[in-house]
Amino acid sequence: MSDLIRSTAAELAARIASREVSAVEVTQAHLDRIGEVDGAVNAFLHVDTEGALKAAREVDDDIAAGAHVGPLAGVPIALKDVLTTEGVPTTVGSKILEGWVPPYDATVTRRLKEAGVVILGKTNMDEFAMGSSTENSAYGPTRNPWDLDRIPGGSGGGSAAALAAFEAPLSIGTDTGGSIRQPGAVTGTVGVKPTYGGVSRYGLVAFSSSLDQAGPCARTVLDAALLHEVIAGYDPMDSTSINAPVPPVVAAAREGANGDLSGVRVGVVTQFSGEGYQPGVLRSFEAAVAQLKQLGAEIVEVSCPSFDYALPAYYLIAPSEASSNLARFDAMRYGIRVGDDSTRSAEEVMSLTREAGFGPEVKRRIMIGTYALSSGYYDAYYGSAQKVRTLISRDFEAAFATVDVLVSPTTPTTAFRIGERTGDPLAMYKADLCTIPANLAGNAAMSLPSGLSDEDGLPVGLQLMAPALQDHRMYRVAAAYEVARDAAAGAPLIQGVPQLAGAAR
């Protein structure tokens, strides 16, 4: 296996900038890796070989010409297929957008291009980001590189699996209820949901507008921070984007790597343990908390009672917004069109297209959302859910009045087997139990590996949460923990991913 694909983004960027290796070589190495293993992993829905090599060549030309390039110039990235890419297909994992080639770039896409980050292609996801396993993709499930019979999490399973399979050193995910963090947790990678409004949603195909947030995914905390600073920042094209300086996450990650957390107060959320939590996950979490204490952090228990209502509130708010956001997929302007045989009305064509184009989970959520917003039910469902949302924000406020960051397991279990929960939506929804509160309140949260579960040898995620616009706090703690964890294990956790079939060298 080429050392290029095992390198961190920070190392690659430095080697490219110093012309020790070219961006084209780095890109080609990753394209080769994708060619070798993606048949088994199915992380990518579309690989843009030509576009990636062209972008890499431009970075090499710029560097050769002595131009100043960004801190991640020439580093390849995998982009979740929910972000629009001009001239490159964007399907959102759905049949209904099969073949759609957007005429415009998402702001995240544009910022990556401007920073010289090389976009390898688009990654697989649960249809419209609805799911926790990537099994809801219309284009087949993605498999977890740690165990190909298991799910890579969702909805951003493709972006997480691409990292764990060394197909890309960086990826972009989007997190509506945990879709960056839960895949990060079950694939042993780092995933960050920035503060809501920290990264522009322009060009992010909406699932739930008030919850969706794009964020960085990587194999190390520093790489995530570097990527975070490339994609974050105010965007006048997104009215909900925050007009404030980007939190200094790279500096925080570098500071944290010194390994000193004295003076940092860490709150353990008491609601997130007990029944339904895999014992190995809880043991890994407890070890992580002990490690933080050893690094000098002060550990306190914090109760956030409203978090118990986060899951039901989420499953009213997100489907409600989705039922409206997905109304535009009507066959009139883009995507597939079914039944247009000149005997049917526009309304009939809309209906047939939506019936054929949307998968069962998407239809389920559209129906839940349509019901929850109906007159006569609005107050009881959507209205009550919004009140819960306010209570959850208050719980966070109260907690952050006494602690700097909160911690919990990212998800109650390690990666489950493909097909294990597809017949039981409620069991599937519980994968996001711990991640949803941060989406409802809009504050920052991330997941990084806390090791492997002692009962099944699969990765476990540690979730860190910080107040809005204080994203740097969790980066500092995460970076300190990462160094200590790898020192204790003797090697980075991610190196434990098994060799993938056909990838032996």
Partner 1 sequence: MTSVYELMDYAEVIERFDPVLGLEVHVELHTNTKMFCGCANVFGGEPNTQVCPTCLGMPGALPTLNGKAVESAIRIGLALNCEIAEWCRFARKNYFYPDMPKNFQTSQYDEPIAFNGFLDVTLDDGSLFRVEIERAHMEEDTGKSLHVGGSDGRIHGAEHSLLDYNRAGVPLIEIVTKPIEGTGERAPEVARAYVTALRDLLKALDVSDVRMDQGSLRCDANVSLMAKDATEFGTRTETKNVNSLRSVERAVRFEMTRQAAILVAGGKITQETRHFDESTGSTSPGRTKETAEDYRYFPEPDLTPIAPSREWVEELRGTLPELPWERRKRVQDEWSLTDAELRDLVNAGAVDLVAATVDAGATPAEARSWWVAYLTKEANNRGVELSELAITPAQIATVIGLVNSGELTNKLAREVVTGVLEGEGEPEAVIEARGLKVVSDDSALEKAVDEALAAQPDVAAKIRDGKVAAAGAIVGAVMKATKGQADAKRVRELIIARCS
Q: Which residues are known catalytic residues?
A: 80, 155, 179
Looking up tokens 């070989």, which residue turns up?
49
Q: Which residues contact 339 (CB under 8 A, 6 or more apart)?
A: 348, 349, 352, 353
- Please say which residue, 102 or 451, places its beta carbon nearer to partner 1: 102
Beta bridge pairs of residue 503: none
- Please say which residue, 244 or 332, places its beta carbon nearer to partner 1: 332
CB of 333 to partner 1, least distance (A): 6
- Please say which residue, 78 or 83, places its beta carbon nearer to partner 1: 83
- Please say which residue, 207 or 481, places its beta carbon nearer to partner 1: 207
- Please say which residue, 61 or 340, places its beta carbon nearer to partner 1: 340
Beginning with the edge strand found earlier in the chain, give each strand of the sheet holding 298-302 in spatial order.
44-47, 118-123, 76-80, 170-174, 214-218, 190-193, 444-452, 459-466, 405-409, 265-269, 298-302
- Please say which residue, 379 or 424, places its beta carbon nearer to partner 1: 379
CB of 200 to partner 1, least distance (A): 9
| Whether the Cβ atoms of residue 73 and residue 105 lie closer than 8 Å to each other | no
CB of 210 to partner 1, least distance (A): 4
Strand ranges inside 312-458, DSSP E: 405-409, 444-452
How far apart CA 309 and CA 312 sit, in angstroms, is 6
What's the Rg (C-alpha) of the chain?
21
CB of 310 to partner 1, least distance (A): 18
- HSE-CB for 143 with a 13 A CA cutoff: 14
CB of 314 to partner 1, least distance (A): 14
How far is the CA of 230 from the CAs of 73, 237, 372, in angstroms?
10, 17, 38
CB of 354 to partner 1, least distance (A): 10
DSSP, residue by residue, 41-63: H--EEEE-HHHHHHHHHHHHHHH
How far apart CA 458 and CA 146 sit, in angstroms, is 7
**What's the chain's length in residues?**
505
Looking up tokens 């002060």, which residue turns up?
298
- Please say which residue, 378 or 457, places its beta carbon nearer to partner 1: 378
CB of 380 to partner 1, least distance (A): 14
Least Cα distance to 445 among 468, 467, 461, 464 occurs for: 464
CB of 213 to partner 1, least distance (A): 13
Question: Under the rule (CB under 8 A), what is the footprint of partner 1?
Answer: 83-84, 90, 92, 97, 100, 102-104, 106, 201-206, 208-210, 236-240, 320-321, 323-324, 327-330, 332-334, 342, 346-347, 350, 370, 373-375, 378, 382
Tokens at 428, concatenated: 């599937």
- Please say which residue, 315 or 382, places its beta carbon nearer to partner 1: 382
Peptide bond into 155 cis (omega under 30): yes
Helix-strand-coil percent breakdown of the chain, rounded to 5? 45, 15, 40
Q: Report long-range pairs for 367-376 (Cβ below 8 Å, ≥24 apart).
A: 367/323, 368/315, 368/316, 368/319, 368/320, 368/323, 369/316, 369/318, 369/319, 369/320, 369/321, 369/322, 369/323, 369/324, 370/323, 372/316, 372/319, 372/320, 373/320, 373/323, 373/324
- Residue 192 sits at φ, ψ, to 5 deg, of -120, 130
Question: At 269, which helix (H) or strand (E)?
Answer: strand 265-269
